């Protein structure tokens, strides 16, 4: 142990001898590790965000109008326009299916907030200036059965939060973020301009806020809820629904397939299992993740070459010293251990620095990814856990383990008499 | 008065070291017989290329002879590979070089204690202080080599040999980079170590005056011993 500590101290002194070179090499490793940690955090975070978002939908299956299932699912998870609607009788046809445990209809529309124009979801800046708001027309009792975690916010200004009556046309419940953004509390007035189907000009409506929901970390936070009948009327889409959210009595692949086959006979309907949505969303970013992983691998290889180069240069510069150490009784294994330790230390320092940079830069990475792509989920998509950092550090140490082999072998193989002569030259 | 006795610590017979350069064979050492006893200081003199360094490298187990027999500290050396040679060097041999060869990032104390690290022995601060006092560097213990004079650096190298209680000290041109005063001081220190600690010291030097301070002077030419003499006033031993 004393010997190992002694070698470690000697290795640190050697690394400090050429501070700039060591710092640059550590920075190279750090950069590679930061990319790897961020990527790992993104992979983990994104999967968890999808899982959470889908779980928090409360449904296992959605019935919706035929179209792109990904877009439909994204709309439900994250909001959007370009909505397709189911015929009003779909609910009546489906609701008596023997495998259904519970079903809730949801009507989604997009309203213009006071003083702003309706913007298409894909329009530049649409989500930045929050010029639209998502209106979700729901059947409160069945909706809450699906999402038992929905709770009303308490505290000053939020007392007495409740769901609206089914027949009400002037009451809304607002999600946490929407309320924060609009600065609305229970009892406040909320204005929304809705363009009815077939009309060109929006109609201004005044609502009373009867409840503000606690944060859920999902799209519900940014949604304004109202009774489904009222929403249908304001949007001039009587009896239509956007989706039917369904929980099956028994949910497995077999039952899901049976259910799907039963209702695919309806010409305008598609049945989407949320597992399928999850797979679609994960697949969507898989290509991007592969590309980022390729960049990370290249960064790691470049860093490794840098480490080997640095240690080799250091070995060549210290040829004479290595010869002297061997003359003084250092065995081949001692020299090997010393040079190897230097490599491992560079990789370890680099891994620690890189992990720190990745942790500090999580917010930046998250914003960058979200600005580049619509990933279909809300909430945090980069999760740098101790596990991710642990794997990155372990990976860097393993790379150092292998990267240090050649320089260490090279140093250990020097004949002392030659090394001393070369060092003196 | 040296503490030389009959105990032979190095004995070489018919030592040869040949190098091959293409079709040419360079006979750096060509049949040298040599005996070094404990408590004896031996100078090896000779012009450049005479084989002084080759001989000293072989006697100190840094290199192996091409032919001949060699015993160092009672162990046969001829034919051994580097991995075996290091086992003989460990704890038996100390080195002093013309270029000093101290590790620049280590303090005087750390340089002196370096061989202990390779032997896996924990340094004893009291012993280190004693060794530094013996070479006159007590007040330089925490200095870096760059803060020392040439003579002081050479003393650190000597202390590095003493810390492991080496039986043999090998000095290749130890005064080559020193001024005359420092060189004399180093030779006085060598004499003191021979007398007080009974070390065997082998020195190569170009400096005849220093060379004849030794108990025995061996002159090499073309890889062969051409003269072996005992300076006036030096008693014959063995």
pLDDT at A73: 62
CB contact under 8 A, A420 and B120: no
Q: Distance from B40 to chain A by nearest Cα, in Å?
A: 22
Query: Exposed, middle or buried, A142 (CB in 10 Å: 0-12/13-18/19+)?
Result: middle
B115 vs A321: CB contact, 8 Å cut-off?
no
pLDDT of residue A129: 47
Q: Which residues of B touch A13 (CB under 8 A)?
A: 105-106
Instruction: From chain A, pick out residues whose CB is under 8 angstroms from the CB of B99.
Output: 320, 423-424
CA A330-A338-A314 angle, to 5 degrees, is 110
Q: What is the pLDDT of residue B236?
A: 57
Does the residue A266 lie in any domain?
A: no
Domain extents in chain B: 38-64+81-229
Alpha-carbon distance A383 to nearest alpha carbon in chain B (angstroms):
42
Mean pLDDT of chain A: 83
Q: What does the DSSP assignment read for chain B?
A: -----S-EEEEEEEEEEEEEETTEEEEEEEEEEEEEETT-EEEEE--TTSSHHHHHHHHTTSS--SEEEEEETTEE-TT--HHHHHHHHTTTEEEEETT----TTS-HHHHHHHHHHHHTPPP-HHHHHHHHHHTT-GGGTT--GGGS-HHHHHHHHHHHHHTTT-SEEEEESTTTTS-HHHHHHHHHHHHHHHHHH--EEEEE-S-HHHHTTSSEEEEEETTEEEEEE--TTPPP--
pLDDT in tens, A156-184: 888 889 999 888 999 999 999 888 888 88
- pLDDT above 80 (res A81): no
Residue A276 in any domain: the answer is: no
Residue A230 has pLDDT above 70, yes or no: yes
Mean predicted confidence (pLDDT) in A246-271: 82
Q: Which of A13, A327, A416 sits opposite B105 (nearest CB)?
A: A13
Q: Which two tokens stand for residue A416?
A: 């002392």
DSSP A81: S
Q: Which pLDDT score, from 0 to 100, does residue A47 have?
A: 78
Interchain pair B89, A423: CB under 8 A: no
Total structural domains within chain A: 2
Determine contact, residues A212/A152, Cβ cutoff 8 Å.
yes
* Residue B1 banded pLDDT, cuts 50, 70, 90: very low
Q: Considering only alpha carbons, which residue of chain A is nearest residue B163?
A: A328
Domain extent at residue A309: 2-51+281-424
A417: chain B residues, CB-CB within 8 Å = 57, 62-63
Q: Do A325 and B114 touch (CB under 8 A)?
A: yes
- Reply yes or no on whether the pLDDT at A80 is more than 70: no
Q: Mutual orientation of helices A274-317 and A319-327 as an angle, nearest 10°?
A: 80
User: Is A264 part of a structural domain of the chain?
Assistant: no
Contacting residues of A for B119, CB less than 8 Å apart = 329
d(CA A331, CA B82): 9
- Burial class for A30, CB neighbours closer than 10 Å (0-12, 13-18, 19+): buried
**What average pLDDT does the structure give for chain B?**
87
* Residues of chain B contacting A324 with CB distance shorter than 8 Å: 95, 97, 101, 103
For residue B176, the distance in angstroms to the closest alpha carbon of chain A comes to: 13
Distance from CA of B3 to the nearest CA of A (A): 25
Q: What pLDDT digit, counting tens, does each position of A369-411 carry?
A: 777 666 556 667 788 888 888 988 898 889 888 888 999 998 9
Better pLDDT: A239 or A212: A212
Residue A273 lies in a domain: no
What pTM did the predictor assign? 0.70
| A112 shares a domain with A183 | yes
Half-sphere exposure of A353 (CA within 13 A, CB side): 16
| CATH superfamily of domain region B38-64+81-229 | P-loop containing nucleotide triphosphate hydrolases (3.40.50.300)
Q: Note the pLDDT tens digit of each residue in A306-320.
A: 889 988 998 988 888
Cβ neighbours of residue A61 closer than 8 Å, sequence gap 6 or more: A245, A246, A247, A248, A256, A259, A271, A272, A273, A274
Would you call A424 and B105 a contact, using CB atoms and an 8 Å cutoff? no
- pLDDT attached to residue B224: 92
**Chain B: residue whose CA lies nearest to A325:** B115
Does A92 share its domain with A130?
yes
Instruction: State which residue of chain B sits closest to A337, comparing Cα positions.
Output: B118
In a domain, A66, yes or no: yes
Q: What is the mean pLDDT of residues A111-115?
A: 67
pLDDT at res. A224: 93
Average pLDDT over residues A16-20: 86
| CB neighbour list of residue B10: distance below 8 Å, 6 or more residues apart | B34, B35, B36, B59, B70, B71, B72, B73, B168, B200, B202
Pairing of the two strands B8-21 and B216-221: unpaired
Contact A424 B101 (CB under 8 A): yes
Are A291 and A241 in the same domain? no
Tell me the DSSP string of B129-173: HHHHHHTT-GGGTT--GGGS-HHHHHHHHHHHHHTTT-SEEEEES
Cβ within 8 Å, pair A416-B82: yes
pLDDT, residue A42, reads: 83
The model's pLDDT over A338-371, given as tens digits with 9 standing for 90+, comes to 999 999 999 999 999 999 998 888 888 777 777 7
Domain shared by A78 and A205, yes or no = yes
Is residue A384 included in any domain, yes or no? yes
Q: What's the average model confidence in pLDDT over B144-167?
A: 88
The reply to whether A98 falls in a domain is yes
Is pLDDT at A118 greater than 50 in this prediction?
A: no
Instruction: Quote the tokens at residue A409.
Output: 């072998």
By C-alpha distance, the chain B residue nearest A330 is: B118
The C-alpha atoms of residue A416 and residue A334 are separated, in whole angstroms, by 13
């Amino acid at each position: 142990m004393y010997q190992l500590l002694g070698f470690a101290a000697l290795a640190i002194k050697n690394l400090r001898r050429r501070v700039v070179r060591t710092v640059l090499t550590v920075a190279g490793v750090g950069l590679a590790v930061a990319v790897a940690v961020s990527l790992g955090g993104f992979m983990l975070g994104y999967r968890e965000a999808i899982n959470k978002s889908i779980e928090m939908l409360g449904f296992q299956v959605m019935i919706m109008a035929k179209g792109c299932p990904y877009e439909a699912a994204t709309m439900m998870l994250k909001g959007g326009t370009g909505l397709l609607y189911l015929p009003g009788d779909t609910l009546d046809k489906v609701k008596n299916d023997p495998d259904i445990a519970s079903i809730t209809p949801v009507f989604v529309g997009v309203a213009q907030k006071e003083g702003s124009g309706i913007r298409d979801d894909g329009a530049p800046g649409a989500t930045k200036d929050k010029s639209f708001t998502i209106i979700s027309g729901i059947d409160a009792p069945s909706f809450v059965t699906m999402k038992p975690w929905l709770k009303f916010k308490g505290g000053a200004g939020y007392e007495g939060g409740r769901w609206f009556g089914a027949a009400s046309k002037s009451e809304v419940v607002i999600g946490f973020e929407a309320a924060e953004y609009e600065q609305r509390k229970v009892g406040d007035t909320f204005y929304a301009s809705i363009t009815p189907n077939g009309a060109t000009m929006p109609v201004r409506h005044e609502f009373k806020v009867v409840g503000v929901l606690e944060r859920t970390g999902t799209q519900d936070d940014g949604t304004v809820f109202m009774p489904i009948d009222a929403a249908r009327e304001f949007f001039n889409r009587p009896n239509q629904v956007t989706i039917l959210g369904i929980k099956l009595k028994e949910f497995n692949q077999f039952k899901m397939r049976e259910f799907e086959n039963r209702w695919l006979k309806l010409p305008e309907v598609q049945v989407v299992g949320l597992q399928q949505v999850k797979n679609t969303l994960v697949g969507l970013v898989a290509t991007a993740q592969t590309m980022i992983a390729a960049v990370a691998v290249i960064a790691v290889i470049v860093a490794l070459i840098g480490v080997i180069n640095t240690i080799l240069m250091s070995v060549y510069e210290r040829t004479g010293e290595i010869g002297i150490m061997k003359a003084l009784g250092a065995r081949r294994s001692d020299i090997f251990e010393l040079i190897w330790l230097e490599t491992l230390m560079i990789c370890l320092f680099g891994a620690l620095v890189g992990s720190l940079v990745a942790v500090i830069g999580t917010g930046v990475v998250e914003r960058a990814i979200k600005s580049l792509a619509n990933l279909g989920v809300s909430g945090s998509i980069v999760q740098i856990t101790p596990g991710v950092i642990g794997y990155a550090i372990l990976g860097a140490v393993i790379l150092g383990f292998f990267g240090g082999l050649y320089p260490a072998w090279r140093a250990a193989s020097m004949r002392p008499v030659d090394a001393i002569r070369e060092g003196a030259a | 008065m040296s503490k030389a006795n009959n105990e032979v610590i190095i004995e070489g017979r018919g030592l040869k070291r040949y190098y091959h350069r293409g079709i040419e064979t360079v006979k750096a050492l060509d049949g040298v017989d040599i005996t070094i006893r404990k408590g004896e200081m031996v100078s090896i003199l000779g012009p450049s290329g005479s084989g002084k360094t080759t001989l000293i490298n072989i006697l100190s187990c840094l290199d192996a002879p091409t032919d001949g027999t060699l015993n160092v500290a009672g162990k046969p050396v001829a034919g051994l590979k580097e991995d075996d040679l290091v086992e003989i060097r460990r704890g038996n041999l100390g080195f002093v070089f013309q270029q000093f060869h101290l590790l620049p990032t280590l303090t005087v104390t750390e340089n002196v204690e370096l061989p202990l690290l390779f032997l896996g022995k924990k340094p004893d601060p009291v012993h280190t202080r004693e060794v530094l006092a013996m070479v006159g560097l007590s007040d330089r213990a925490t200095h870096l080599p760059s803060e020392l004079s040439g003579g002081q650096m050479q003393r650190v190298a000597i202390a590095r040999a003493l810390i492991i209680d080496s039986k043999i000290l090998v000095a290749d041109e130890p005064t080559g980079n020193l001024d005359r005063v420092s060189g004399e001081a180093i030779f006085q220190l060598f004499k003191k170590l021979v007398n007080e600690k009974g070390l065997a010291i082998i020195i190569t030097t170009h400096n005849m005056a220093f060379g004849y301070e030794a108990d025995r002077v061996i002159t090499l030419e073309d890889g062969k011993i051409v003269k072996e003499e005992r300076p006036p006033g030096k008693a014959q031993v063995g």
